[in-house]
Structure 1
Amino acid sequence: MAKVSSDQLGQEPIGKLLIKQAVPASIGILVMSLNILVDSIFVGNWIGPIAIAAINVVLPVSFFIAALGMAIGIGGSSIISRALGANNKEKALKTFGNQITLTLLVTITMVALGLYFVDGLIPAFGGKGSIFDPAKIYYTIILYGVPFLALCMMGNTVIRAEGKPKFAMIAMIIPSVGNLLMDYIFIYVFDWGMHGAAWATTAGYLMCFGYILYFFLSKNSELRISLPHFGLDVPILREIGSLGFVTLARQAVTSITYLLMNNILFNLGGEAMVAVYAIIGRMLMFALFPVFGVTQGFLPIAGFNYGALKYDRVKESIYTAIKYAALVATLVFIGLMIFPEAITSLFLSSREDLPVKELITNTFVLERAPTAMRWVFAATPIIALQLIGAAYFQAVGKAIPALLLTLTRQGFFFIPLILVLPYYLGEFGVWISFPIADVLATIVTGFYLWKEIKTKLQKPTDI
């Protein structure tokens, strides 16, 4: 039964298959995004806007370490999808075993380094002034659970590579629901403040790990690995590394972006300006969940059919994914342009007994965030092409173009823009950098994807 499931990636109609893959992925990402969103709302209402800013400071470090697991997962899953498509199950098993070993070695090392350099990292990422103490509390506790999160991110991509999106969806839902439940208990009931927010998130990671472990030990998975598969294999590690580096580089650039944004905005408007970006950052994660869902659903379809040399299906999956993703991106754009004030107010406490500084911060954020949000999401309808285009090269194992296109938006365009434009345009220069980078990155990606379709996806002998 499991074998039939993975074979369906090369047999079912692309439109139906993409929906089957993308809907569970979208639901899983939605729940995870809602978790981040509602978590921020809880923290903002029950602790205060400075606490939201503190969490925003910590996210780049914890996300980067967790992204190591995702990088290893996506890199290895590309190999697994193509191996299953080529009916090479032994390579798929060996790859999965190497993914587990590598994830443990790398993330535990990074956590140890992260804890050792805690007092230097937090200020570097914008945790200054009154943000530092709550950020340090959150950061220290979160790091204990990050290796489990990394294993979850790695395992989730492998589940998708097997063609089992519903199990992957459940794995994404569990930590989100667990975190929100623990938020209520630890923050609202026990009144643990930042300690409660951090332990609630860590508890969610542990719940997710438990489910992922159950999946691979049960009969649901076709990857029945044994002890020899855990031994590191240099050729496989090299392939995992080259493809996974794309994801890792993207997250590294994202972390650098947070570092720069938090520091630039702190200099422009202090803690309150960082809180504005924290809210917009949550919406960047939440609002685009259906687009990311289509991208996640597209990856195993493109990888499996590329491995099976079914290039017509690969091309059809590209066109269909771009069409679906563009449609939902446009709907998201319309909603964000109409309701930014209502969205912003969700994150702010209506209590009148807040300290004076918190009340002033609330007022500042409510005035600035809606306009900023409109500019940040101004180019949302066109980002589908950029995301699907970069994802295609990663799915089919072409590491260099995947890396370059993945870095195009943030690394080649956005970071230079935020280093230059705020100098001349102030706060507006920060927000206008987002749509400019989106447009430029989409143009570049569209060109390379069109060239790939016209020259490479014609017949097997072209590879």
Structure 2
Amino acid sequence: MSNSEAFGKEPINTLLRKQSIPSGIGILMLSIYGIVDTIFVGNYVGQLGIAAITVVIPITFLISSIGMGIGIGGASIISRALGAGKPSKANHTLGNQLTATFALGILFCVLGFVFIEPMLKLFGAKGDILGPTVEYFSIILIGIPVLAFSMMSNNVIRAVGYPKVAMVVMVVPAIVNMILDPILIVYFNMGIEGAAWATTGSYFMSATYAAYFFISGKAGIKLSLKDLVPSSSINKEMFSIGSVTFVRQGVVSLLFLVLNNSLFKYGGESSIAVYGIINRMMMLVNVPALGITQGSMPIVGYNFGAKLWKRVRLTLRNAIIAGTIISASIYALIMIFTPQIIRIFTDDISLINETVPALRTVFLATPLIALQLISSAYYQAIGKSRSALLLTLTKQGFFLIPLLLILPSIYELNGIWVSFPIADISSAIVCISYLLYDQKRILIQQKAPNSIQTA
């Protein structure tokens, strides 16, 4: 039995553990390296360094989400193709992913250099923040194409049944970054540039490992030159599904644009630094939900392709339950030890005092995140891009951005922080209502066991 065939035969909870734990470890390592990066910058560069990284993060994610979107879109096709016994389609899909990832990654890298200052100013790099932000981002841009390749590869590797290899693709850059940070930032006293080169170097190492895995032939996907030739049908489906991820990141980047400008208006540079710390902690708290989300996608996709509808629904249910329980447990620890956690990032007493209540407010409804992430990913996995897009846009697009435009004008800085839990609760209500309605509709339509409507 091949790695991918196990998706249709092994117990769902066993598969979720096998897929989600490596994925969660990989995301955890990425979160830790982001936290370590912020710790070094905060302690050896200062408040402006944290603010600079905070401004650059959404832009980097927006550009690199090209690879993530192509990866998720193609992985969905590959999972369903393998489940349906169509390996040639899987091969052709991977070839198209490679062509699209590098073409678009290089294009956006060039555009980033051309419009670097206007872009950074738009995202909140104002006043004293602009200088270090330009220094940092101009180096980060160099690694964008290979970062896009790593993100694309990660999803494909998981789709073909190698979650531990996918984990290593994420762990490698984390380890490299944590090794290079003290060397470049502290020993060579390179400051914010050292942080940028450490991050960029980690991107290249991750891409190298992913490329080695594909070249070794372990993936079970054999590429030929003809597979690299774009196929209109594959690209249409791939970009339709993957566009959900790109739109999600686009909305997140728009969120940061609105957020950073509001923070600067109502709290200045220090408030942007506060959110930089909150954002790093948010990445850490969301690790279980993200790991289970990524782990569930290839299981759902394969079983959908194999028309094993009960396994599809069981995967969805168990993933949501597990993600919510684990997220709630971690959330409780974060809320209890908030001051101690903040002191890891900075010894600035005023910054600590400002961050503690803000973090607790932002995190109030964090356990509901799993429901939002998994429900959207479920529809991506089965190829229903419209439903996935709808649920993807609920938190940031439908609720958080409008709240950030309205509440600060009434409650100033507190209005920014309280917008987050309100958006989390509102989007969770939309997601669960949509899922319950859709699953009820599916069960009503399920007259024949082989009907595709039962998916």
Give the TM-score normalised by the residue count of structure 2. 0.97
Matched, 1:343 2:341: yes
Specify the alignment match of 1:148 in structure 2. 146
Specify the alignment match of 1:379 in structure 2. 365
Structure 1 residue identity aligned to 2:183: I
Deviation, 1:219, is 3.1
Which deviates further from its counterpart, 74-83 or 336-345? 336-345
Structure 1 unmatched ranges of 5 or more: 351-361
Matches of 2:334 and 2:183, distance apart in 1? 32
Q: 2:84 aligns with which of 76, 79, 86?
A: 86
Do the aligned residues in 2 keep the contact of 1:73 with 1:153 (CA within 8 Å)? yes
The residue matched to 2:3 in structure 1 has which SS?
helix
Matched, 1:451 2:424: no
The residue matched to 2:268 in structure 1 has which SS?
helix
Specify the alignment match of 1:331 in structure 2. 329
Specify the alignment match of 1:393 in structure 2. 379
Specify the alignment match of 2:160 in structure 1. 162
Q: How does 1:65-80 map to 2 (within 5 A)?
A: 65-80=63-78
Matches of 2:440 and 2:322, distance apart in 1? 22
Matches of 1:462 and 1:295, distance apart in 2? 23
The residue matched to 1:460 in structure 2 has which SS?
coil
Specify the alignment match of 2:312 in structure 1. 314
Specify the alignment match of 1:51 in structure 2. 49
Q: 1:460 aligns with which of 447, 450, 454?
A: 450
Q: 2:406 aligns with which of 420, 444, 456?
A: 420
Specify the alignment match of 2:10 in structure 1. 12
Matched, 1:408 2:394: yes
Deviation, 1:383, is 2.2
Matches of 1:130 and 1:406, distance apart in 2? 35
Matches of 1:398 and 1:383, distance apart in 2? 21
Do the aligned residues in 2 keep the contact of 1:418 with 1:429 (CA within 8 Å)? yes
Matched, 1:300 2:298: yes
Which deviates further from its counterpart, 443-452 or 111-120? 443-452
Q: For 1:13-35, what per-residue CA distance to the aligned partner results, in whole angstroms no more than 9, with x for missing partners?
A: 00111011000000000001001
Do the aligned residues in 1 keep the contact of 2:307 with 2:452 (CA within 8 Å)? no
Deviation, 1:363, is 3.1
Q: 1:130 aligns with which of 107, 128, 131?
A: 128
The residue matched to 1:5 in structure 2 has which SS?
coil
Do the aligned residues in 1 keep the contact of 2:12 with 2:311 (CA within 8 Å)? yes
Q: 2:193 aligns with which of 186, 195, 208?
A: 195
Structure 2 residue identity aligned to 1:428: N
Report how many aligned residue pairs link the two structures. Answer: 449
Specify the alignment match of 1:173 in structure 2. 171
Give the TM-score normalised by the residue count of structure 1. 0.95
Do the aligned residues in 2 keep the contact of 1:156 with 1:168 (CA within 8 Å)? yes
Structure 2 residue identity aligned to 1:383: I
The residue matched to 2:33 in structure 1 has which SS?
helix
Specify the alignment match of 2:93 in structure 1. 95
Q: 1:250 aligns with which of 239, 248, 251?
A: 248
Do the aligned residues in 1 keep the contact of 2:286 with 2:369 (CA within 8 Å)? no
Matches of 2:117 and 2:36, distance apart in 1? 28
Matched, 1:259 2:257: yes
Do the aligned residues in 1 keep the contact of 2:132 with 2:192 (CA within 8 Å)? yes
Q: For 1:134-155, what per-residue CA distance to the aligned partner results, in whole angstroms no more than 9, with x for missing partners?
A: 0000000000001100000000
Matches of 2:368 and 2:395, distance apart in 1? 13
Deviation, 1:460, is 3.2
Deviation, 1:333, is 1.4
Structure 2 residue identity aligned to 1:54: A
The residue matched to 1:216 in structure 2 has which SS?
helix
The residue matched to 1:456 in structure 2 has which SS?
helix
The residue matched to 1:12 in structure 2 has which SS?
coil
Structure 1 residue identity aligned to 2:229: G
Specify the alignment match of 1:106 in structure 2. 104
Deviation, 1:368, is 1.2
Do the aligned residues in 1 keep the contact of 2:81 with 2:90 (CA within 8 Å)? yes
Q: For 1:300-325, what per-residue CA distance to the aligned partner results, in whole angstroms no more than 9, with x for missing partners?
A: 11111011000000111011101110
Matches of 1:452 and 1:96, distance apart in 2? 31
Structure 2 unmatched ranges of 5 or more: none
Which deviates further from its counterpart, 444-453 or 188-197? 444-453
Which deviates further from its counterpart, 18-27 or 339-348? 339-348
Matches of 2:192 and 2:36, distance apart in 1? 15
Do the aligned residues in 2 keep the contact of 1:50 with 1:130 (CA within 8 Å)? yes
Q: For 1:374-400, what per-residue CA distance to the aligned partner results, in whole angstroms no more than 9, with x for missing partners?
A: 111111122222221111111100000
Deviation, 1:462, is 4.3
Specify the alignment match of 2:239 in structure 1. 241
Matches of 1:12 and 1:454, distance apart in 2? 26
Q: 2:282 aligns with which of 284, 307, 313?
A: 284
Specify the alignment match of 1:359 in structure 2. none
Structure 2 residue identity aligned to 1:437: A
* Runs of 4+ with deviation above 4 angstroms: none
Specify the alignment match of 2:271 in structure 1. 273
Do the aligned residues in 2 keep the contact of 1:336 with 1:373 (CA within 8 Å)? no
Do the aligned residues in 2 keep the contact of 1:272 with 1:364 (CA within 8 Å)? no
Which deviates further from its counterpart, 447-456 or 144-153? 447-456
Q: For 1:184-239, what per-residue CA distance to the aligned partner results, in whole angstroms no more than 9, with x for missing partners?
A: 11111111111111100000000001100000011321111111000000011000
Q: CA RMSD in A?
A: 1.0
